[in-house]
Structure 1
Amino acid sequence: MGNIEKSLGELAEYLDAELVGDANHRINGIADLQTASASELSFINQESYAQYLAECESGAVILSDDFADKYNGNKLIVSNTYLAYAKVSALFESLSALPAGAHPSAVIATSAEVHPSAAIGANCVIGENARIGAGVKLYSGVSIGDRATIGDNTLLHPNVVVYHSVCIGSNCIIHSGTVLGSDGFGFAPVRGGWEKIHQLGAVIIGDNVEIGSNTSIDRGALGNTVIGDNVIIDNLVHIAHNVKIGKGSAIAGCVGIAGSATLGEGCTVAGAVAINGHITIANNSHFHGGTIVTKGNTEPGVFASAPPQQDVKKWRRNSVRYTQLDDMSSRIRQLEKQLQALLAQNSADKS
Structure 2
Amino acid sequence: MFRLDELVAQLGGALVGDAGVEIRRVATLEQAGEGDLAFLANRKYLPQLQRSAASAVIVAPDARDLLVDRPRIVTPDPYLYFARVAQLFSPLPVPQPGVHPQAAVACAVPPTVEIGPGASIEAGVELGDGVVVGAGCHIGRGTRIGQGTRLAPRVTLYHDCVIGENCILHSGAVIGADGFGFAREKSGRWVKIPQVGRVVIGNEVEIGANTTIDRGVLDDTVIGDGCKLDNQIQIAHNVRIGQYTAIAGCVGIAGSTRIGARCMIGGQAGIIGHLSICDDVVISAGTLVSKSITRPGVYTASLPVQSHAEWVRNFAHLRHLDALATRVRALEHPHDGRNGRNPD
* Structure 2 length-normalised TM: 0.93
Q: Which residue of 2 aligns with 1:80?
A: 77
- Structure-2 separation of matches of 1:25 and 1:342: 78
Match of 2:201 in 1: 205
Q: Does 1:69 align with 2:69?
A: no
Q: Which amino acid aligns with 1:116?
A: P
Distance in 2 between residues matched to 1:115 and 1:342, nearest whole Å: 79
Report matched runs for 1:129-144 at 5 Å: 129-144=124-139
1:188 match: 183
* Partner of residue 314, structure 1: 310
Q: Is the 8 A contact 2:95 2:130 kept in 1?
A: no
Q: Partner residue of 2:165?
A: 170
The DSSP-based 3-state class of the residue aligned with 2:38 is: strand
Per-residue deviation at 1:97?
4.2
Q: Which amino acid aligns with 2:259?
A: L
Distance 1:287 1:139 in 2: 34
Q: Name the stretch that deviates more: 78-87 or 62-71.
A: 62-71
Alignment match of 2:243 (pick from 247, 250, 270): 247
Distance 2:80 2:338 in 1: 66
The answer to whether the Cα contact below 8 Å between 2:334 and 2:340 also exists between their aligned partners in 1 is: no
**What's the % identity of the aligned pairs?**
41
- Partner amino acid for 1:249? T
Structure 1 pair 323–123 and aligned structure 2 pair: CA distance change class (3 A): same
**Could you say what secondary structure the match of 1:42 adopts?**
strand
- In structure 2, relative to structure 1, the CA distance for the partners of 1:57 and 1:301 (3 Å cut) is closer
Answer yes or no: is 1:89 the counterpart of 2:83.
Answer: no
Q: Of residues 102, 107, 117 in structure 2, which corresponds to 1:105?
A: 102
Over 3 Å counting, the alpha-carbon distance change for 1:343 and 1:294 in structure 2 is: closer
Residues 202 and 223 of structure 2 are in contact (CA less than 8 Å); yes or no, is this contact kept in structure 1? yes
CA-to-partner distance for each residue in 1:11-32, whole Å, 9 max, x for gaps? 1212212223333332221111
Matched, 1:265 2:294: no
Deviation sequence 1:215-255 (CA, Å, 0-9, x none): 00000011110111111111111000000111121111111
> Equivalents in 1 of 2:339, 2:37: separation in Å?
74
Query: Which residues in structure 2 correspond to 1:33-44 (within 5 Å)?
Result: 33-44=29-40
Q: Which runs of 5+ in 2 are unaligned?
A: none
SS at match of 1:53: helix
1:145 to 134, 140, 147: 140
Amino acid corresponding to residue 8 of structure 1 in structure 2: L
Distance 2:337 2:236 in 1: 55
The alignment partner of 1:61 has SS state of strand
Partner Cα separation in structure 2 for residue 10 and residue 102 of structure 1: 38
Show CA shifts across 1:133-159 (max 9, x none).
011122222211111111011111111
**Residues 334, 304 of structure 1: alpha-carbon distance in 2 compared, 3 angstrom cutoff:** same
> Which stretch of structure 1 is more off in the superposition, 308-317 or 292-301?
308-317
1:278 matched to 2:235? The reply is: no
Deviations 1:87-129 (A, max 9, x none): 11111226554312222222110xx232221221222111110
Work out whether residues 17 and 70 of structure 2, in 8 Å CA contact, stay in contact via their aligned partners in 1. Answer: yes
Unaligned runs of 5+ in 1: 346-351
| Pair 1:299–1:55, CA change in 2 (3 A) | closer
* 1:21 lines up with 2:17 in the alignment: yes
- Indicate which of 51, 54, 68 corresponds to 1:55: 51
Q: How many angstroms apart in 2 are the aligned matches of 1:192 and 1:311?
A: 41
SS of the equivalent of 2:216 reads coil
SS of the aligned residue for 1:24 comes to: coil
Distance 1:335 1:219 in 2: 56
Partners of 2:337 and 2:119 in 1: how far apart? 80
Q: Decide whether the 8 Å contact of 1:173 with 1:209 is kept in 2.
A: yes
Equivalent position amino acid for 1:184 in 2: G
Q: Which amino acid aligns with 2:240?
A: K
Post-superposition CA distance 1:6-65 (Å, at most 9, x none): 222211212212223333332221111111121221111111111012221112111122
- Structure 2 match to 1:6: 2
Which secondary structure does the structure 1 equivalent of 2:82 belong to? Answer: helix
Shift of the 312–48 alpha-carbon distance from structure 1 to 2, 3 Å rule, reads: farther
Matched letter for residue 151 of structure 1: G
**Partner secondary structure for residue 19 of structure 1:** strand
* CA RMSD in angstroms, aligned pairs only: 1.9
Amino acid at match of 2:2: K
* Equivalent-residue separation in structure 1 for 2:340 and 2:17 (angstroms): 81
Judged with a 3 Å threshold, the aligned counterparts in structure 2 of structure 1 residues 205 and 126 are, in CA distance, closer, same or farther, namely same
> 1:179 offset after TM fit, Å?
0.5
Length, aligned pairs only: 339
Cα 1:106–1:340, aligned 2, differ >3 Å: closer, same or farther? same
Moved more, 24-33 or 255-264: 24-33
Amino acid at match of 1:148: T
